[in-house]
Amino acid sequence: MRSESPNSAAPAGRKLRFLSAEQQQRYAAEEDRVNTQLDFALLPTVERASLLSGLDRSVESRMQALGFLSETLDRARGAAMLFHQAHGKLESWKNEAFIRGGLSEFASVFGALTRDLLLAGRPEAAHGETDSQNPLLHLMSLMRDIGIHLSAFEVSTHDTQVIFYAGDDEQEHTITTAIVSNLTVNLLLKKREAKKYNRLDLERVVAWFNDKQKVFGAAHILVQGVGAYCEEIQARYRQAGRITRLQRTADAAR
């Protein structure tokens, strides 16, 4: 399934069409006063969606190859599973529950990673989602805190045009997706933790999320966030493992 969004994510350094000229000027003026640095080049490229649910198989394979992230991977799988239960044919309260549950399971990945590292005897600190510079992971963290502690997210349906590809055959269809309809910067700013972000960064990531979810649905975008977090985890500890092995080899040769 593939659909082109009118406001596809622009490369780093390019002005984003979903921000007004005034917002772009404010963003440029405040870039040097950011408390939490975010890198918008790390946002996933969302141009198509698979009919298959769950994490990307290649992401799972790289996590499994490390050999000690079993609970971490299971928690990530659980988050993806819950997100994928939300779709346009369900009652809104069910979709809200699945998205709220998926965000909570996503937040639990950090605790699982901490335990996996401890059991494996690894000395490294656990890499939390807010240790990332990916704006989507920070947004998901804020969404989880707000959805659990402050205010319910409202989930509604949205019709979108998509193209299904089967070999050389292309067919255009209208599908109904589930979207978070009340996601705004003002809602995020109800959380004290949101104050550490440049407001214009929040405006930018909220605009990106709202743009993408209207094409692919909230669930698909949130699963992309889970996958991005897993990619950071496996890359970090694969590299750390290499350094540890090299250090042990050097110590043995002394």
**Residue 208 in contact with residue 9, Cβ under 8 Å?**
yes
- CB of 39 within 8 A of CB of 249? no
**pLDDT given for residue 15 in this prediction:** 46
Burial-class residue 86 by CB neighbours within 10 Å (0-12, 13-18, 19+).
buried
The terminus-to-terminus CA distance of the chain in angstroms comes to 57
Written as tens digits, the pLDDT of the chain (254 aa) is: 444 444 444 444 444 556 666 666 665 555 544 568 899 999 998 766 555 567 888 999 999 999 999 999 999 999 999 999 999 889 999 999 999 999 999 999 999 999 999 999 999 999 999 999 999 999 999 999 998 877 778 999 988 766 655 667 777 767 788 999 999 999 999 888 898 999 999 999 999 999 999 988 999 999 999 999 999 999 999 876 554 444 444 455 55
So what's the pLDDT on residue 127? 96
- Distance in angstroms (rounded) separating the CA atoms of residues 61 and 85: 23
pTM for this structure?
0.78
Place of tokens 């050097």: 250
**What was the pLDDT predicted at 17?**
57
Find out whether 55 and 83 touch, Cβ atoms under 8 Å.
Answer: no
Angle between helix 70-84 and 218-253 (nearest 10): 170
The candidate with the shortest Cα–Cα distance to 118, out of 85, 71, 157, 155, is 71
**How is residue 197 written in tokens?**
């972000």
Residue 114 contacts residue 87 (beta carbons within 8 Å): no
> Looking at residue 162, what is its pLDDT?
64
Vertex 185, ends 156 and 27: CA angle to 5°? 135
From CA 124, how far away is CA 229, in angstroms rounded? 17
With a CB cutoff of 8 Å and minimum separation 6, the contacts of 25 are none
Q: Any idea where the domains of the chain sit in the sequence?
A: 38-43+55-253
Where does residue 33 rank: exposed (0-12), middle (13-18), buried (19+ CB within 10 A)?
A: exposed
Residue ranges in 41-184 assigned as alpha helix (H): 57-66, 70-84, 92-107, 109-119, 135-149
Amino acid at 96: E
CB-based contacts of 242: which residues, under 8 Å, 6+ apart? none
Q: Calculate the alpha carbon distances from 73 to 19, 103, 142, 226 in Å.
A: 36, 15, 22, 10
